[in-house]
A and B are shown apart, each in its own frame.
Chain A
Amino acid sequence: MPLLECRGLTRNFGALVAVDAVDLTVEPGEIRAVIGPNGAGKSTFFNLINGMLRPTAGSVLFDGKDITGLAAHRIARHGISRTFQLTHLMPDLTARENVRLAALASSPGRWRIVGGADILERAGEAADRAMERLRLAPFASMKANELSHGDQRLLEVAMALAQNARLLLLDEPTQGLSIEETERAVQILREMLNGEDLTVMLVEHDMEVVFKLADRITVLHRGQVIADGEPEEVRQNAEVQNAYLGGFD
């Protein structure tokens, strides 16, 4: 059974059809990239899956259950975590507190109003493991907004990881990074993906990154899927070349 299945997923903004009848399935353990030019509907597509937007039509099934139109926090609790294209952190909390909050979300003790030091302690240990994976341990006690941009991007991934989700949605994890930072981030992400049994869907603009990380690629263009397949197939696809990869070699 696929872990994620989108059927005819559609979202209109007035006359604009941002996501147009997208069918897509992601198998457990897959690293799927969703690519497409600016305005292709990639981020909207993520927002439909994680509940930040309601679809106009179509449905989303996660692990066989219909999660269409549920509130964002409910979908997160079903086991889908996400990062944002523009960094979303708790700027004034430390890096560790950020990740600890992510880890705490799956703990039944998250509603403890007084005390609860032991609950935070356990969430903190989970946070340390996630930060270790993304080589963020040295920055644990720094405030999130004092981290370099590259480490802030990775911190968001660490949070997604600490949520202990079954599907990670990564929205342009290398957005805004320099060439060196991107290389480092890709290497760290590669290690993370090898080290765990994760299912990941990532939106990415940088083709280098996509071909290094993904085992399967879906190409969106004006809200529609125009290609879907192994990286090599997609690279050869004439329609994709036209729509998007023109400048790429």
Chain B
Amino acid sequence: MRARGLFILVIAAAAAAGFGMPHLLPGYLVNILTEALIFGLFAMSLDLMIGYTRLESFGHAAAYGLGAYASALLLLSFDIPMLIVIPMAAIITGVVAMPIAWVCTRSTGISFAMLTLAFAQLFYASVYQFKDFSGGSDGIAGIARRAGPFGIDFFQTKIGYFYLVLIILILSFLFCRSLVASPFGQVLAGIRENEVKTRTLGYNTRAYRMVIVVLAYAFGGLAGALYAPLAGFASPELFFWRMSGMVLIMVIIGGRGTLVGPILGGAVFLFLEHELSALPMVRELWPLIFGSIFIAVILFAPQGLWGLFRSWREKRRIGVVSKPQSDAPHAAS
């Protein structure tokens, strides 16, 4: 019940903010907000692995870059409407992720993190290697948001594109929320908590891990696929490990294992970075500020800002006199 109330609140807030805001804001801010939402989606996709399955990926940029390059190349090479290209790019990312998932799930823990990183770097290097195809260090420019199907052209505008991203984010959130509460999601929770035990219960845990890696990449690819038509270009930086690190930090700051936390973490921090870096005073200081926030969250709110907010609400709800709630980071939402 509590979760449902919260859920409605979030959706309502997102919708209200979404439907009012773009019309009041200058165009460049609409674009930044759109990018923030895309980054929220990207962070949420990583949360499926980190928060719900304890698969710490340090190479999630691979998903983002694959989605972005797939949508860029499809839009430039074929006469396919953007609304079809975007899901196609997500599916392509998922398909490419299958062998990656097969290799990476052979290990767990730090080796898993390193393997995911290795794949991302492999793509990064490949972009430079296959210049004819990928544009090399120049990336791919001039990506158009092509109209259609059926002559739909609303999503080509800045505001229209914002709505498209918002709708896709909400639908993706609803899907993932259902996923983590499903039987499949319960098995993931078992793997997160104790993989050996889950296996002896009769679950082929590696198969479950492979499926969630593929799904997380597909959603990460969806975010990347939305990014390319927004920015109008795709660059190798999208595959770079810095991207993987950023999104990982945002998941942890937002609150892993909550879906909402990483969405807000990803969106808010991307937005802040954009805005604060524009101020000459702050530009140099931003990494310092961001780093300090990260350290503070790790030390004082290991379940992230959303987790902190949730346990604060919980305490208020049950009153101060009762026993302290456990600080476990993975409470089901």
Q: Is the CB of B197 within 8 A of A163?
A: no
A102: chain B residues at CB < 8 Å are 201
Which of B178, B181, B183 contacts A107 (CB under 8 A)?
A: B183
In the complex, whether A146 has a CB less than 8 A from a CB of chain B is yes
* Cα distance, A163 to B198, chains bound together (Å): 12
Contacts of B186 in A (CB 8 A): 97, 100-101, 104, 120
Complex interface residues of chain B between 188 and 244 (CB less than 8 A to chain A): 189-190, 193-194, 196-205, 211, 215
Chain A proximity of B200: nearest CB distance (Å)? 5
Known: A88-B194, A89-B197. A106 touches B182 (CB 8 A): no
Asked whether A24 is an interface residue with its Cβ less than 8 Å from the other chain, the reply is no
Please give the distance in Å from A76's CB to the nearest CB on chain B.
3
Distance to closest chain A CB from B267 (angstroms): 24
In the assembled complex, A190 has its CB within 8 A of some CB on chain B:
no
The contact of B184 among A77, A105, A113, by CB within 8 Å, is A113
Tell whether, in the assembled complex, residue B202 and residue A114 are in contact, meaning their CB atoms are under 8 Å apart: no
- Name 29 interchain pairs, CB-CB below 8 A, sorted by A: A71-B199, A73-B201, A73-B205, A76-B202, A81-B200, A81-B201, A84-B197, A89-B194, A90-B193, A91-B193, A92-B193, A92-B328, A93-B193, A97-B189, A101-B189, A101-B190, A104-B183, A104-B186, A105-B201, A105-B202, A110-B184, A112-B182, A113-B179, A113-B182, A113-B184, A114-B179, A119-B183, A123-B183, A159-B201
Those 5 A-B pairs whose CB atoms lie nearest each other, nearest first:
A90-B193, A76-B202, A105-B202, A114-B178, A88-B197
Whether A105 contacts B197 in the complex (CB less than 8 A), given A111-B183, A113-B182, A143-B328, comes out as: no
Separation of A104 and B189 alpha carbons in the complex (Å): 13
Q: Does A221 contact B (CB under 8 A)?
A: no
Q: Is A186 an interface residue (CB 8 A)?
A: no
- Cβ of A170 to closest chain B Cβ, rounded Å: 13
A91 (CB) vs chain B CBs: closest residue: B193
Report B-chain residues with C-beta under 8 Å of the C-beta of A116: 182-184
A106 touches B197 (CB 8 A): no
Which of A106, A107, A116: most chain B Cβ within 10 A? Answer: A116
Is B274 an interface position by the 8 A CB rule? no
Interface size bracket, B side? 20 to 34
Assembled-state Cα–Cα distance A82/B198 (Å): 11
Mark each residue of chain A from 127 to 141: 1 if its CB lies under 8 Å from any CB of chain B, else 0: 000000000000000
Interface majority SS (helix, strand, loop, mixed), chain B? helix
* Chain B residues whose C-beta falls within 8 Å of the C-beta of A92 in the assembled complex: 193, 328, 330-331
Residues of A contacting B187 with CB < 8 Å? 101, 104, 110
Q: Mark B295-310, 1 if CB is under 8 A from A, else 0.
A: 0000000000000000
Task: Please tell me if the beta carbons of B184 and A90 are within 8 angstroms of each other in the complex.
Answer: no
Contact of A115 with B198 in the complex, beta carbons under 8 Å: no
The distance in angstroms between the C-alpha atoms of A247 and B49, with both chains bound, is 52
Q: Are B183 and A110 in contact (CB under 8 A)?
A: yes
Asked if B150 is at the interface of the complex by the 8 Å CB criterion, the answer is: no
